[in-house]
């Protein structure tokens, strides 16, 4: 990891923490996951409609539970698209890439380092203890491919060029999910409670 990399993730973490998560964001994620998103401190990536696609979760959940999966995929459409790839038995070919393509291998190791540095910046800011999850990132990094959802979440939160496998999976599912195309079933304002102005506008603009 270069000094530029460190600056990039530290600034990204600070920016996301500064924005934080609104009550509305938390409500939307709760509806997406079907449970309260414990430890959610920010939205890491949004659909063009504004709905969260991935959230940033603090390293230590309330109650003192260590949580390594800092970038967590929540958008039902992207979760489903990525599940299709896993169910289709395509994991081995991604593992193969990491093992046998030197460029992908190096990029994957860097993605792991970036993940840890991003979490470390959040831990420092929030005063969270990372000792139980030291060196542990997500998705099988840095040498295996175990969960495509975690890798795609990193790609969405940190942008293209960070996680080589997450980027490839996003490309692979483009017909089913594209962060630039809203296919949200649950639109902002349609979760039953308060259909606000932004939600109504979204409904007119899409479909
Ligand atoms: Zn959307």
Q: Which pLDDT score is estimated for 186?
A: 64
**CA atoms of 108 and 142, how far apart (whole Å):** 6
Structural domains in the chain (count): 1
Q: Which pLDDT score is estimated for 206?
A: 36
Residues having C-beta closer than 5 Å to ion ligand 1: 47, 49, 51, 182, 184
Domain membership flag for residue 151: yes
pTM: 0.88
CB-CB contact of 111 with 3 (8 Å): no
Cα distances (angstroms) measured from residue 56 to each of 46, 49, 77? 12, 19, 18
Give me the domain span that covers residue 68. Answer: 3-188
Domain membership flag for residue 200: no
Cα distances (angstroms) measured from residue 83 to each of 14, 18, 171, 176? 31, 32, 14, 11
140 C-alpha to ligand 1 centroid (Å) = 29
One digit per residue, the tens of pLDDT, for the chain of length 207 reads 899 999 999 999 999 999 999 999 999 999 999 999 999 999 999 999 999 999 999 999 999 999 999 999 999 999 999 999 999 999 999 999 999 999 999 999 999 999 999 999 999 999 999 999 999 999 999 999 999 999 999 999 999 999 999 999 999 999 999 999 999 986 655 544 444 434 433 333 333
181 C-alpha to ligand 1 centroid (Å) = 7
111 C-alpha to ligand 1 centroid (Å) = 27
Domain membership flag for residue 202: no
């Amino acid at each position: 990891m270069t000094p530029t990399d460190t600056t990039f993730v530290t600034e990204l973490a600070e920016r996301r923490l500064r924005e934080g998560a609104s009550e509305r964001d938390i409500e939307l994620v709760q509806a997406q996951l079907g449970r309260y998103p414990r430890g959610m401190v920010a939205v890491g990536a949004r659909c063009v409609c504004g709905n969260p696609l991935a959230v940033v979760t603090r390293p230590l959940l309330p109650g003192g539970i260590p949580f390594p999966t800092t970038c967590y995929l929540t958008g039902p459409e992207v979760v489903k698209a990525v599940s299709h790839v896993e169910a289709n038995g395509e994991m081995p070919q991604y593992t193969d890439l990491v093992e046998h393509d030197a460029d992908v291998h190096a990029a994957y190791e860097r993605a792991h380092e970036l993940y840890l540095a991003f979490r470390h910046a959040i831990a420092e800011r929030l005063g969270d203890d990372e000792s139980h999850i030291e060196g542990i990132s997500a998705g099988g990094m840095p040498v295996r491919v175990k969960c495509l959802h975690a890798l795609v979440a990193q790609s969405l939160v940190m942008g293209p060029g960070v996680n080589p496998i997450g980027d490839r999976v996003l490309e692979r599912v483009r017909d089913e999910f594209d962060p630039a195309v809203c296919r949200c079933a649950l639109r902002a304002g349609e979760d039953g409670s308060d259909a606000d102005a932004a939600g109504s506008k979204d409904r007119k603009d899409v479909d």
